[in-house]
Amino acid sequence: MTKSYLSLELIDKSFERGGTRTEVLKQVSLSVDKGEFISIIGHSGCGKSTLLNIVAGLTQATTGVVLLDGRVADEPGPDRAVVFQNHSLLPWLTVYENVRLGVDKVFSATKSKAERHDWTMRNLELVQMAHAAEKRPSEISGGMKQRVGIARALAMEPKVLLLDEPFGALDALTRAHLQDQVMQIHAELGNTVLMITHDVDEAVLLSDRIVMMTNGPSARIGEILDVPLARPRRRIELAGDRTYLKCREAVLKFLYERHRFVEAAE
Interface residues with another protein (CB under 8 A)?
56-58, 76-78, 80-82, 84, 86, 88-92, 101-102, 105-106, 131-132, 136-139, 141, 156, 173-174, 176-177, 234-236
Q: Which CB, 94 or 215, lies closer to another protein?
A: 94
> What are the angstrom distances between the C-alpha of 146 and each of 99, 165, 169, 177, 203?
12, 11, 9, 12, 18
Q: Which CB, 148 or 250, lies closer to another protein?
A: 148
- Residues 187, 130: Cα–Cα separation, whole Å: 21
Q: Which CB, 2 or 141, lies closer to another protein?
A: 141
Task: Give the H or E element holding residue 182.
Answer: helix 172-189
Q: Which CB, 51 or 250, lies closer to another protein?
A: 51
CB of 23 to another protein, least distance (A): 23
- Residues 137, 146: Cα–Cα separation, whole Å: 10
CB of 181 to another protein, least distance (A): 11
- Kindly write down the DSSP assignment for every residue of 190-216, as one continuous string: --EEEEEE--HHHHHHH-SEEEEEPPS
Q: Is 34 left (phi over 0), alpha (psi -120 to 50) or beta?
A: beta
CB of 253 to another protein, least distance (A): 28
CB of 265 to another protein, least distance (A): 26
- Residues 214, 27: Cα–Cα separation, whole Å: 12
Q: Which CB, 58 or 67, lies closer to another protein?
A: 58
Q: Which CB, 20 or 138, lies closer to another protein?
A: 138
CB of 132 to another protein, least distance (A): 8
- Residues 255, 214: Cα–Cα separation, whole Å: 8
CB of 173 to another protein, least distance (A): 5
List all residues 6 or more positions away from 154 whose beta carbon is below 8 Å from its beta carbon.
81, 123, 126, 127, 161, 185, 189, 191
